[in-house]
Amino acid sequence: MHPSSSGHFDMGGYVRKAAISVAAALALVVVSAAPAAAVDNVNSKKFRDAVTVGGILSHERVLQRIANQNGGTRASGTPGFDASAAYVKDTLKAAGLKVSQQPFTFPLFHELAPAVLTQDSPNQVSYETATYQYSGSGTVTGTVVPIDVVLPPTPAPSSTSGCEATDFPAAPAGPAIALIQRGTCTFGTKVVNAAAAGYDAVVIFNEGQPGRTDLFVGDIGQVVDTPTVGLSFADGNSLYAATQAGPVTATVTTSTFVETKTTSNVFGETTGGDANKVIVVGAHLDSVQEGPGINDNGSGTATILEIAEQFKALKVKPKQKVRFAFWGAEEGGLLGSEHYVNTLSDAQLGKIYANLNFDMVGSPNYVRFVYDGDGSATGTSGPAGSAEIEGIFNDYFGKQGLATDPTAFDGRSDYGPFIAVGIPAGGLFSGAEGEKTPEQAAVYGGTAGAAYDVCYHQACDTINNLNTSALNELGDAAAHAVYTLALTKTGFFPDGSFAKRKAPELTYKGPYAVR
């Protein structure tokens, strides 16, 4: 996920992993009937039995060792990522797949010193803060101006603060600092609008609803010159209140730089299967710089590696070609998957009929989240065919007597560039920085009020941060979906066909970012 960095963006920030709405969180789905135009009912039991937690963990242990040997990280642009990519390539070759690597350049963000935020007048206050990904560098002392703040917050999304150019009053004379509330649009949109309106620095505070109160570090999604830092809701609310009593002066200091680095996507493709009907099964390979990323997203990486190995072990003969994809620089803004989609020709794009995405499937306080392909629970549907992919997962879990929760197509992971060009998508997610609700704890167990993954984007995201029950349940569901789509004879549409379409114009400009 993206850095909050990222699963994985907030499609408004870079919390990257899809977050569900409050209403969706309460709508637990125990059994969801497969849509009428669903694919064939394929018996996946033998294949699922072959995909084991032990097999997944065998890959996770290697990724942990790689991180240990490379400064505790597997981030794109580091030796830890390069070693991870080499391991994936060797594993895919041993599994009999056709292996390729796609290098690309990307901006690698560095923070040279921690951010500092102080109120200088009328009171002297030091705040706990943090630098936003891709923030500009410098020190700005100026007047704090609240931008269309909504207090108290109402059920999400309540704030559109900074989403429109008209939200910004004329910047006061001298340096000015925009105080912006999280919500609705991407952090990049907020920062770019602030700069265009003449503001010299940006402070973004968390929105205020349950799960959106702590200090939140977002990803701007593009390199900017404007120093940008974060605040918790409590501190942001306090600073806002001060501005309502009279002029407030503050100082923002950041120390950053960006360098151009090279990383890559790695692919392993089945030799068999119709090359005109390609399933792209993806997981991002990189971690954040702060940690080894063994759940985010070693868990997705290890799961699809294990699935790929079992294609050879069981001598599976897919009817569709399966392309296993391991994305680079997801934590920098879905850059690997974006690069891949944007470099496809119209003919190549038209041959991809489905994308499955697995970004975090081993969270310690997990929920079985399924992407809401038909939009019935979250209000945002995927392209045609996505509802049928959702149906494959929910039908499978229902037959196992296992509950699921919906999660939105909000752009926080590598399915984003695919759905932007009309490719059906779906997948699983076990939760990131969001808090488990009491209703979810009653169904799934675990701890209500605690994060799904307390080590999300931290150094403690190690091999000890995995829930083996989550790996077992979500791993089996992933195996079932891949096997079903690889073996089905029937497509997504009412006439039973697969997608046969002229590729749309590539309008995706990415990266998606957290809100």
> How far lies 203's CA from each of 46, 316, 329, in Å?
54, 53, 26
Distance, in Å, from the CA atom of 310 to the CA atom of 304, rounded to the nearest integer, reads 10
Q: Would you call 329 helix, strand, or coil by DSSP?
A: coil
Catalytic residue list: 330
* Structure token pair of residue 79: 């030796």
Chain position carrying tokens 């499609």: 11
Residues contacting residue 184 through CB under 8 Å, at least 6 positions apart: 12, 157, 159, 160, 163, 515
Query: Which of 58, 242, 224, 195 has its CA nearest to residue 137?
Result: 224
Cβ(210)–Cβ(439) below 8 Å: no
Q: Would you call 237 helix, strand, or coil by DSSP?
A: helix
Stated as kind and residue range, the H or E segment containing 305 is helix 298-313
Chain position carrying tokens 């009999």: 96
Torsion sign, CA atoms 431, 434, 439, 442: positive
> How far lies 157's CA from each of 113, 134, 232, 479, in Å?
33, 24, 17, 34
Residue type, 232: S
Query: Which of 466, 459, 490 has its CA nearest to residue 392?
Result: 490
Query: Which of 435, 366, 413, 427 has its CA nearest to residue 216?
Result: 435
First-to-last C-alpha distance (Å) of the chain: 13
